[in-house]
Amino acid sequence: MSSFLFQTLKSRVTLIVGLGIFLLTASLVVASRRTHELSPASASARNTPRMIAGPGRVEPSSEDIKIGSELSGRLKSVNVEEGDAIQRGQVLAELENADYRAQVESARANVIAKQAVLRKVINGARRQERDEARSSVNEAKAVTENAKSELHRRQELFSAGVVSREELERYAREADVAQAKYEAAVQQHALVDDRAREEDQSLAEADLQLAQAQLDEAQARYDKTFIRSPIDGTILRKHHRSGESVSNSSTVPDPVLTIGDRKALRVRVDVDETDVSKVNIGQRAYVTADAFGTQKFWGHVVRVGQQLGPKKRPYRRTYGKGRHQDSRDTG
């Protein structure tokens, strides 16, 4: 079997068939033209249209869209019911997401910490730290000058034979220690007072970028716990309710809702493969339904399927005692 779609022409048809999804029979009228001469007996039937009929299904022009969750979990709430009108971006359902929200807050706090580290690297030491380092330099300088002065006095006394060599060497060592402490204080002050090194700033910036990426990732996971509508439309089917578990398995689809845009309806019709070549886009067709008797709803073919479907099993439908009509099982 193959299938084709046709669009209804009258706007009022939308109001009628929009009340529900039901099976119907669609008949496509195709004019059969011959390229060779016909016999006189068939000349009168030369322009007689041929009827191609098949069972069909009314569906939204958007087709049925099954909305599922990208994450496995338990549904915290399903906010819509069948028949509700919905808008693009509207939250239709929500998963239990307290753990995902906590991950977002943790990642956001880490970003704030990394931002502080970067500012510290760029700004360098505080004014109080700079003043303290400068005071240490001045103190070490004074100690060094005092040690050198004492060493100079001991050298003069040693030359006069007043002090021993051991005492002179002790003051010499103290002067050397004082000089070393002074040089260390100068280096520490230069480190505190200097600008941040390029590599230190680059490392801090990289840490911040990593933290921001982790926040974006956590936020994306959290956003996936909200199931939103991709279109303006209507809830056609509600597969799960609050408290039920859903799966994101790719092998076994587990939709939460089925939605569609019913502003424009189409009919998907199954025709026999031997009649597919007689169906063309743009041809007029009409739909009939048991609920409306012999009333015809006219439309036109908008798409012809490119893939054959399974054969339909024939069955016999009874209308009353002694009356029956052959049709096909629409599955």
Q: What confidence score (pLDDT) does residue 34 get?
A: 38
Helix, strand, coil percent values for the chain (each to nearest 5):
40, 30, 30
* Position 72 confidence tier, pLDDT thresholds 50, 70, 90: very high
Only one residue has tokens 């000349």, namely: 43
The HSE-up count of residue 113 (CA atoms within 13 Å, CB side) is 10
- Average the pLDDT over 147-156 and give the result: 86
pLDDT at 220 over 50: yes
pLDDT at 183 over 80: yes
Which range of 9-13, 181-185, 268-272 scores highest in mean pLDDT? It is: 181-185
Interval 118-138: pLDDT, tens = 888 877 656 677 677 778 888
Amino acid residing at 8: T
Q: Burial code of 157-189, b = ≥16 C-beta within 10 A, e = fewer?
A: ebeeeebeeeeeeebbebbeebbebbeebeeeb
Q: What confidence score (pLDDT) does residue 256 get?
A: 94
* Position 330 confidence tier, pLDDT thresholds 50, 70, 90: very low
pLDDT at 27 over 50: no
pLDDT at 50 over 70: no
Task: State the fold for domain 66-95+231-258.
Answer: OB fold (Dihydrolipoamide Acetyltransferase, E2P) (2.40.50)
Question: In terms of pLDDT, which residue wins out, 283 or 124?
Answer: 283
- Ranges of H-type helices in the chain: 11-17, 40-43, 98-123, 127-159, 165-193, 198-223
Stretch among 30-34, 165-169, 266-270, 323-327 having the lowest mean pLDDT? 30-34
Average pLDDT of every residue of the chain: 77
Question: In terms of pLDDT, which residue wins out, 250 or 162?
Answer: 162
CA distance 248 to 226: 14
Interval 76-115: pLDDT, tens = 999 999 999 999 999 999 999 999 999 999 999 999 999 9
pTM of model > 0.85: no
Q: Where are the domains of the chain?
A: 2-61+264-328, 66-95+231-258, 109-216
Q: What confidence score (pLDDT) does residue 91 get?
A: 95
- Percent of the chain with pLDDT strictly greater than 90: 29
* Position 228 confidence tier, pLDDT thresholds 50, 70, 90: very high
